[in-house]
Each structure stands twice: as structure tokens, then as C-alpha cells.
């Protein structure tokens, strides 16, 4: 299996995912496989912190596969979730959700979105807007488990069809499997050193 060896260029991969597990066991399986691939390829996981839902499944799996895990979390969520077991991780506390998003985006080389709810959607749109406005060139990959992202894809197509945006500036990738998400970011992302100061 070609993805079982470390990638020559370790990346900081920011993964957005539901704070709930949701109703699809395929989504949980995808979160687990993605975490495992991140670890076995030598990548670092940046995520929203905690041990709940798909986020927790992903982070535990990444940790078990040897990935460094960095959690970026507003203090209020940390207080709410501290009772839910999360894997060992470097914790970066922020004051607000907005600050959290900015730090995650700054620190990442690439983004992957698993299925999720409004929080995940908000993060995806933030990255998409910044891509569109040419504020970064970091790839964003939607992991489309059981058509979870089809609605978003259709919405983007409609927005472009009505002339409110140009499709070729959106930079969205949509794939069906975790291995394809890893292959896409490894092909598209440019790694950069993240200093402690830049992370915080």
C-alpha cells in the first residue's frame, strides 16, 4: 500500500469535521481512515480540539498512527468539552471562534473537510472565500462520504451559473475516499515551517 510510508514532505493538515458522529457509519470509518493515513504519512493534524464526534474519532486515529495532533480551541468550548477524552495533543486556546479559525487557517498547508454541521460549513466557506480572494493557495478537499458535500457542490455550481463567482477560482477538490484526499493534498500543497509564534 503506497500510502503506508511517510511522505517526503510532512504537511500540517487542518481537518474540519462534525463535533457529532452523525448517522452514517461510513463517515466514522472515513474519519478513522483519514486519521490513520495522516499518521502513517508523517503529517501533522490540526483540528478543532476535543474528543467528540467525528473530530474525536479522527484525532484518536491520527494519534494512534503516530501523528502530532494540534488542537486549536476557544476557551469556552474547552471548558464544555474537557470531560470528553481527547488524545494527547498540543493545545492552543483562543478567545473566540473567529480567532480559532484564523489560527487554524494560518498554520495549515492544506485543508480536508469530513462531513459535519454548521461549524464545518462555516470553516469550509471561510477557506473557500480566502481562496477566491487569492489570500492563499492552500488546497481544500471535501471528503464526500455518502454525498455529504453534494449539496455544497451544487450550490457553488449554481452561484457560478448565475454569474456571482467564477468556478475556476474556487479551487475546490471533491473526492470520495480518504486515500484520494491524502493524494490530492500531497500533490497540491506546499509545505511550510510553522514556528511556535506563527502557530499561536
Ligand X SMILES: C/C(=C\CNc1ncnc2c1ncn2[C@@H]1O[C@H](COP(=O)(O)O)[C@@H](O)[C@H]1O)CO
Q: Which residues bind ligand X (CB under 6 A)?
A: 16-20, 48-50, 52, 55, 77, 80-81, 116-120, 123
Q: Is the four-CA dihedral 56, 195, 41, 169 of positive or negative sign? A: positive
Smallest distance from ligand X to CB 47, Å: 7
CA distance 189 to 118: 26
> Smallest distance from the beta carbon of 9 to ligand X, in angstroms?
25
Q: Which is nearer to ligand X, 99 or 165 (CB)?
A: 99
Q: Which of 66, 71, 109 is nearest to 90 (CA)?
A: 71
Cβ distance to ligand X smaller for residue 77 or 174: 77
In the complex, what is the shortest distance from the CB of residue 1 to ligand X, in angstroms, rounded to a whole number? Answer: 28
Identity of the residue, 118 or 164, whose beta carbon is nearer to ligand X in the bound complex: 118
Dihedral of the alpha carbons of 177, 32, 73, 128, in degrees to the nearest 10: 0
Tell the smallest beta-carbon distance from residue 152 to ligand X (Å).
13
Judged by CB, which is closer to ligand X: 81, or 134? 81
Q: In whole angstroms, give the CA distance from residue 26 to residue 9.
A: 29
Pairing of strands 12-16, 140-143: unpaired
Amino acid at each position: 500500500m503506497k500510502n503506508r510510508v511517510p511522505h517526503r514532505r510532512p504537511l500540517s493538515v487542518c481537518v474540519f469535521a462534525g463535533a457529532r458522529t452523525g448517522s452514517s457509519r461510513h463517515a466514522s470509518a472515513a474519519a478513522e481512515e483519514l486519521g490513520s493515513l495522516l499518521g502513517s504519512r508523517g503529517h501533522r493534524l490540526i483540528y478543532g480540539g476535543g474528543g467528540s464526534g467525528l473530530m474525536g474519532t479522527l484525532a484518536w486515529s491520527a494519534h494512534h498512527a503516530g501523528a502530532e495532533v494540534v488542537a486549536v480551541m476557544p476557551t469556552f468550548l474547552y471548558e464544555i468539552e474537557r470531560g470528553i477524552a481527547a488524545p494527547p495533543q498540543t493545545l492552543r486556546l483562543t478567545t473566540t471562534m473567529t480567532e480559532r479559525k484564523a489560527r487554524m487557517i494560518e498554520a495549515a498547508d492544506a485543508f480536508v473537510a469530513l462531513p459535519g454541521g454548521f461549524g464545518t460549513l462555516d470553516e469550509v466557506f471561510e477557506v473557500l472565500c480566502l481562496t477566491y480572494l487569492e489570500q492563499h493557495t492552500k488546497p481544500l478537499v471535501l471528503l464526500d462520504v455518502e454525498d455529504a458535500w453534494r449539496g455544497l457542490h451544487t450550490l457553488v455550481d449554481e452561484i457560478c451559473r448565475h454569474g456571482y463567482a467564477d468556478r475556476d477560482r474556487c479551487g475546490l477538490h471533491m473526492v470520495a475516499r480518504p486515500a484520494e484526499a491524502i493524494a490530492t493534498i500531497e500533490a497540491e500543497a506546499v509545505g511550510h515551517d510553522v514556528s511556535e509564534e506563527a502557530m499561536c
